[in-house]
Amino acid sequence: MKKCPYCFEVLKEGSQKCPFCDQFIIDDLICVDYKSLEKKKCFFCGKRILKESRICKHCHQWLDRVSDASDTYDKIE
């Protein structure tokens, strides 16, 4: 299946804009053969998002700069 390179939600092949995180797809879609089940909490809004997400599909905040912090936060929970 193809996934959004930003929020890692499943997208249709050829999608130009992700309906989940509202980003235009300027990178290639990620091709995976598994469904992501692991979740983490968004550092900004606290909602559940996929563990691999680089952007929150709820509040559209980029998580790259806090990825280390949110990983630690996830283990504590």
The contact set with Zn ion (CB under 5 A) reads 4, 6-7, 18, 20-21, 42, 44-45, 56, 58-59
Angle at 4 between CA 43 and CA 72, to 5 degrees: 25
Contact 61, 52 (CB under 8 A): no
From the CB of 44, what's the least distance to Zn ion, in Å? 4
Alpha-carbon distance of 47 to 62, in angstroms, equals: 14
Taking the CB of residue 33, how many other CB atoms lie within 10 A of it? 5
Compare residues 45 and 69 and give the one whose CB is closer to Zn ion. Answer: 45
Contact 33, 40 (CB under 8 A): no
From the CB of 4, what's the least distance to Zn ion, in Å? 3
From the CB of 62, what's the least distance to Zn ion, in Å? 10
Compare residues 18 and 75 and give the one whose CB is closer to Zn ion. Answer: 18
Compare residues 16 and 76 and give the one whose CB is closer to Zn ion. Answer: 16
